[in-house]
Amino acid sequence: MNKRLYLFLLAGCLLLAGGQAAAQSQSDIRINEILVINNDDYEDDYGHKPGWIELFNTSRGTVDIGGCYLSNDRNNLKKYRIPKGDVLTKIKPRQHVVLWADNMPLRGTFHVNFTLTETNVLYFTSSNGRNIVDSLHFPTGDGPFPVMDYIAGNKGHQVMEKGSIPHYPVENVSYGRLMDGETIGGNNGWAFLIKTTPSSNNVILDSEAAAQRFKEFDPVGIIMAMTAMSVVFVALILLYLIFKQIGRASVKSGRKKAARAGIVPHEDEIPGEVYAAIATAMYLYLQQGEVHDVENTILTFRNVKRQYTPWSSKIYGLRQMPLLTKTVSDNHPTKKS
């Protein structure tokens, strides 16, 4: 009964984990930037300049958005199904993909069947058509709306207001996240951006490599040595403290068990090395097989192997023995032979 219960529990856990894992990948996609009216901006393969929607894969693994849905209608989340089977729907880690909001779905996978001027909402829904992975309600109407610039780097983060727009939508001004895929700052990280950045990062990354920074601040490696050695020591000291306690508990419980079994520990017990030496000698005899056995008074262990061939097989050579039952005596159990 218990075993069955464990199996059910295990199966349940696996199902939960599996479901979670499947949902996890598509749930890493974020609506990252939109451009409602495109007049003089990014151009599609047909030479047209429609509005666009940029999606961003926030994860460190490739995510296939084939089969997911985009919609500008809360009551019809399955408005545009991103076709499956197109290799381009696989978004690489921390990369972007742009879909054209031109209401021209026959132009290919990345042309959706609505435009962004129809409503001011946008939904990205997972392939089951029910779970809204990300949604956006973008401002429209009269402003003024501030236009923001964001610079992120090792020397700090800066959000700067760079003018404003009187109303929205306005030509060639995009609405996007200040930091790709993130919700930093007010308004969940969304703002009107100083410039459009289709298929690339919204933020200007002014960062130098970590290694370069380390050399700048720590030219002879003292800070690194102190920090790293502290971490190594902390890790091993913690292990030491834990296993010191575990060892004590183990010795105590061993003594208790021995006392319960009536075993009195002897001071002149044979040390472990002696057992180790005997075991090693036996191992060498058994496993290495290089010791000779011609001398008298030397005990040799040797593996006895019976070579199997079909010619010596009893299965092939004999008939099956009849089953006999014999009672040995009244006091002994019945034996079958």
Partner 1 sequence: MNAFFSFLWDNLQQFFGYTAFANFSFGHLIMILIGLLFLFLAITKDWEPMLLVPIGFGIIIGNIPFLEGLSIGVYEEGSVMNILYQGVRLGFYPPLIFLGIGAMTDFSALISNPKLMLIGAAAQFGIFGAYGLALMFGFPANEAGAIGIIGGADGPTAIFLSGRLAPDLLGAIAVSAYSYMALVPVIQPPVMRLFTTQKERLIRMRPPRAVSQREKIIFPIIGFLLTAFLVPSGIPLLGMLFFGNLLKECGVTRRLAETARGPLIDIVTILIGLTVGASTQADKFLQFRSIQIFLLGAFSFIIATTAGVLFVKFFNLFLKEGNKINPLIGNAGVSAVPDSARVSNNVGLEYDKTNYLLMHAMGPNVAGVIGSAVAAGILLGFLS
Using the rule CB under 8 A, is 231 a contact of partner 1?
yes
Using the rule CB under 8 A, is 270 a contact of partner 1?
no
Using the rule CB under 8 A, is 219 a contact of partner 1?
yes
**Beta-bridge partners for 81:** 69
Q: What are phi and psi of 16, to 5 degrees?
A: -60, -45
CB of 29 to partner 1, least distance (A): 25
**Antiparallel, parallel or unpaired: β 141-153 and 204-206:** parallel
Of the candidates 66, 41, 63, 67, the residue with the CA atom closest to the CA atom of residue 52? 41
CB of 132 to partner 1, least distance (A): 31
Whether 69 contacts 50, CB under 8 Å:
no
Amino acid at 148: M
CA dist 9 → 6, 131, 208 (Å): 5, 26, 49
Judged by CB under 8 A, which of 85, 156, 262, 272 binds partner 1?
A: 272
Of the candidates 96, 20, 99, 21, the residue with the CA atom closest to the CA atom of residue 58? 96
Q: Which is nearer to partner 1, 237 or 282 (CB)?
A: 237
Of 21-29, 124-132, 139-147, 208-216, the window that binds partner 1 (rule: CB under 8 A) is: 208-216
Using the rule CB under 8 A, is 224 a contact of partner 1?
yes
Using the rule CB under 8 A, is 209 a contact of partner 1?
yes
Using the rule CB under 8 A, is 242 a contact of partner 1?
yes
Which helix (H) or strand (E) covers residue 121, if one does?
A: strand 121-125
Using the rule CB under 8 A, is 214 a contact of partner 1?
yes
Whether 51 contacts 102, CB under 8 Å:
yes
CA 4 to chain centre: 30
CB of 75 to partner 1, least distance (A): 44
Q: What are phi and psi of 109, to 5 degrees?
A: -55, -40
Q: Which is nearer to partner 1, 129 or 153 (CB)?
A: 153
Of 28-36, 62-70, 73-81, 272-280, the window that binds partner 1 (rule: CB under 8 A) is: 272-280
Q: Which is nearer to partner 1, 240 or 301 (CB)?
A: 240
Residues in contact with partner 1 by the rule CB under 8 A: 209-212, 214-215, 218-222, 224-225, 227-229, 231-240, 242-244, 246-247, 250-251, 254, 271-273, 276
